[in-house]
Structure 1
């Protein structure tokens, strides 16, 4: 779910979640055994860093942002439920947005989180 700033309407405060808490919990379970894992709020979502490098981020707009080797971007875009990551109006190679439908099952989520973690691990620690 996208975050909606708290508003007061007729004396009632309305607050929405910044990101899908269930998806964040599922990712958290998958990375729990990783060394050097940290969570950080970024881009309106919740990022999971490995050794200081972002691996995946539960998006505030739904789905999962996944960091991959730049050279794999085009090949992975051919998969179902995968879109290019657009930032500041430009496609960002090395980043993919996997829709909610693409991470519904444990197997789907493991595949994408594993891919992001593997790439983050390949980078020098920050």
Structure 2
């Protein structure tokens, strides 16, 4: 989205002939239910210990997340724009923690995205 916005011409304006006022929608109205479309949990194998570049993935975790330091995994509800999607997200630490390349882990565990 940012890349598309950066390419737009600031002199472009959007006009509307409509006289209706925008309506507010609640988060519940825009709920995203992924239970029928996705495995649960969705597993993401990172390439290193948790770090800033993984922030976008961790931002998808709900407030109910649990850190399992023994497994190097953080698991919680998958949340999009503050709304629970109905599936869980598991983020696994990589690098020296798993002692093998991420590609190997993905080959051995078919549940990793």
Q: Under a length normalisation based on structure 1, what TM-score does the superposition of the two structures give?
A: 0.26
**Where is the strand percentage greater, Structure 1 or Structure 2?**
1
Q: Which structure is higher in helix share?
A: 1
Q: Tell me: higher relative CO, structure 1 or 2? Use CA pairs within 8 A at least 6 residues apart.
A: 2
Larger radius of gyration: 2
Query: What TM-score comes out, normalization by structure 2 length?
Result: 0.28
